[in-house]
């Protein structure tokens, strides 16, 4: 058996590629013939030789290629589902010039397949381990025409302007070099973090501003280099059992939270229900857009004393005001069909009112935004005055003023 450029394939590779693409089509991640053909053509296993063939072609599996000293992934071949979604979002077309921020090789090869021999692909990474691997495996897979650059992805890159920029690392900000590298009307597709929540957003350039054309839930390893940004972590009990994370430059005063979780827990329920497996990712973004003092709560399962019962123990909306806090909660109210009710738990002297505030916003989301297409995201240079911004929540990053505008 051989692939499109005549190389011999390991047994089962072609069948695994076909099965992967069929699964991605069924899930709606692959929608176009161009993306399907690229994923059928590029040998994904070549770019992650550490994985077994079966692992390489599992649609939901990210293939970690490097970890830091704490065991956290700092480089990976992202899950095929995520890569397919981003390629569809980016709307890459034949003959385009494309810049990829964050390398690895496989995604750049997919882009090269879509743009064809008349197009150009440049892939950039700050880590020489990553760029050396990318160059090696791109050559092995037959994509030497992809230019691999070792550089900080936030800095200008030679070869522009580009029709498309695809960012394959989690970004907290939008450096001016990215907007400046885009042609007018070109798009940048980027996993952007806002209040700790990441959305893969396709922005179109309109002069000096970027306006979203689509957004999906996404997750990537964090960007390194000049524009790396760490969240602010608060441990209200002094241990790693419960952590509160705040992601923006402006964050609430958390100095009075000591002992707050030793106070009685107030429970308030909204009357808004959700079925088992029914998605509600837009709720988190709505709460981040509408609630002051917003952050995310996480609970270490090995240290959990059941003091708190958040709706999501990995990353649950929480709000803080002085010496009080409240977080989103869920309770099962029916077994057949399985149905849950949204609510909130509060701690501290104002815990009850904070929980009631969360419930009020849950009800607003249910009434006005649950079935909507979601918000529009607009990014403008950091010096833009308030009267030039659209209505909505404004988040000031280091380089841009990001506005989240709900219909």
Tell whether 209 and 67 lie within a shared domain: yes
CA atoms within 13 A on the CB side of 94: 7
* 222: in domain: no
Tell whether 205 and 236 lie within a shared domain: no
Tell whether 45 and 115 lie within a shared domain: yes
The angle that helices 13-27 and 80-90 make with each other, rounded to 10 degrees, is: 60
* 378: in domain: no
Kindly give the confidence (pLDDT) of every residue in the chain, 407 residues in length, as a single tens digit, with 9 standing for 90 and above: 444 334 344 456 889 999 999 999 999 999 999 999 999 999 999 998 888 899 999 999 887 776 676 666 556 788 999 999 999 999 999 999 999 999 989 999 999 999 999 999 999 999 999 999 999 999 999 999 999 999 999 999 988 899 999 999 999 999 999 999 999 999 999 999 999 999 999 999 999 999 999 999 887 777 888 888 889 999 999 999 999 999 999 999 999 999 999 999 999 999 999 999 898 989 999 999 999 999 999 999 999 999 999 999 999 999 999 999 999 999 999 999 999 999 999 999 999 999 999 999 999 999 999 999 899 999 999 999 999 999 999 999 999 999 999 98
The answer for residues whose C-beta is within 8 angstroms of residue 382's C-beta and 6 or more apart is 396, 397, 398, 399, 400, 401
Question: Looking at 193, 217, 241, which one is the last position of a domain?
Answer: 217
Tell whether 315 and 203 lie within a shared domain: no
Peptide bond into 355 cis (omega under 30): no
* 384: in domain: no
* 277: in domain: yes
Q: What span, in angstroms and rounded, lies between the C-alpha atoms of 159 and 164?
A: 12
**pTM of the model as a whole:** 0.90
* 137: in domain: yes
Q: What span, in angstroms and rounded, lies between the C-alpha atoms of 234 and 246?
A: 8
Q: What are the angstrom distances between the C-alpha of 374 and each of 164, 215, 339?
A: 23, 8, 24
Q: What span, in angstroms and rounded, lies between the C-alpha atoms of 257 and 323?
A: 5
Question: Looking at 217, 248, 281, which one is the last position of a domain?
Answer: 217
Q: How much of the chain is in helix, strand and coil states, percent to nearest 5?
A: 25, 35, 40
pLDDT of residue 215: 94
pLDDT of residue 228: 84
Q: Which is the catalytic residue, given 29, 75, 76, 78?
A: 78
Tell whether 81 and 172 lie within a shared domain: yes
Tell whether 135 and 175 lie within a shared domain: yes
Q: How many domains does the chain have?
A: 2
Tell whether 213 and 236 lie within a shared domain: no
Q: What span, in angstroms and rounded, lies between the C-alpha atoms of 309 and 382?
A: 38
* 146: in domain: yes
Tell whether 241 and 210 lie within a shared domain: no
The answer for residues whose C-beta is within 8 angstroms of residue 175's C-beta and 6 or more apart is 154, 155, 226, 227, 399
Q: What span, in angstroms and rounded, lies between the C-alpha atoms of 258 and 355?
A: 19
**Residues 184, 157 contacting (CB under 8 angstroms):** no
pLDDT of residue 71: 65
352 by DSSP, 3-state: which?
Answer: helix
What CATH number does the domain containing 116 carry?
3.40.50.150
* 349: in domain: yes
Tell whether 176 and 281 lie within a shared domain: no
pLDDT of residue 80: 93
Tell whether 247 and 176 lie within a shared domain: no
Domain that holds residue 272: 232-369
**Residues 346, 354 contacting (CB under 8 angstroms):** yes
* 381: in domain: no
Tell whether 278 and 212 lie within a shared domain: no
Gyration radius from the chain CA atoms? 22
385 is an active site residue: no
Tell whether 73 and 172 lie within a shared domain: yes
């Amino acid at each position: 058996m051989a692939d499109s450029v005549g190389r011999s394939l390991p047994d089962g590779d072609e069948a695994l590629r076909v099965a992967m693409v069929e699964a991605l089509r069924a899930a709606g991640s692959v929608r176009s013939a161009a993306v399907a053909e690229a994923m059928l053509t590029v040998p994904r296993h070549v770019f992650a030789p550490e994985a077994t063939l079966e692992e390489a072609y599992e649609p939901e599996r990210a293939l970690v290629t490097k970890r830091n000293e704490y065991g956290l992934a700092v480089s990976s071949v992202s899950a095929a589902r995520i890569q397919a979604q981003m390629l569809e979002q980016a709307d890459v077309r034949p003959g385009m010039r494309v810049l990829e921020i964050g390398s690895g090789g496989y995604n750049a090869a997919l882009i090269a397949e879509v743009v064809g021999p008349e197009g150009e692909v440049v892939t950039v990474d700050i880590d020489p381990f990553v760029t050396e691997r990318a160059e090696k495996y791109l050559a092995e897979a037959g994509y030497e025409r992809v230019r691999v650059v070792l550089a900080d992805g936030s800095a200008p890159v030679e070869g522009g302007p580009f029709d498309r920029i695809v960012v394959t690392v989690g970004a907290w900000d939008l450096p001016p070099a990215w907007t400046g590298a885009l042609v007018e009307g070109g798009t940048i597709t980027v996993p952007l973090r806002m209040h700790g929540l990441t959305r893969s957003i396709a922005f179109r350039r309109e002069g000096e501003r970027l306006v979203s054309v689509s957004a999906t839930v996404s997750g990537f390893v964090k960007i390194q280099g000049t524009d790396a940004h760490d969240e602010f972590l608060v441990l209200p009990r002094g241990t790693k059992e419960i952590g509160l994370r705040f992601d923006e430059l402006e964050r609430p005063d958390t100095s009075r939270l000591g002992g707050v979780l030793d106070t009685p827990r107030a429970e308030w329920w909204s009357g808004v229900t959700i079925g088992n497996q029914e998605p509600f990712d837009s709720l988190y973004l709505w709460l981040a857009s509408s609630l002051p003092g917003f952050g995310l709560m996480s609970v270490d399962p090995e240290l959990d004393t059941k003091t708190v019962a958040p709706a999501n123990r990995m990353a649950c909306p929480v709000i803080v005001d002085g010496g009080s806090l409240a977080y989103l909660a869920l309770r099962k109210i029916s077994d057949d069909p399985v149905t849950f009710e949204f609510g909130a738990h509060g701690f501290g002297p104002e815990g009850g009112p904070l929980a009631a505030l969360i419930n009020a916003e849950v009800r607003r989301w249910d009434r006005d935004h649950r079935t909507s297409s979601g918000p529009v995201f607009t990014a403008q240079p950091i010096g833009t005055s308030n009267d030039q911004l659209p209505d909505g929540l404004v988040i000031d990053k280091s380089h841009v003023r990001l506005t989240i505008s709900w219909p």
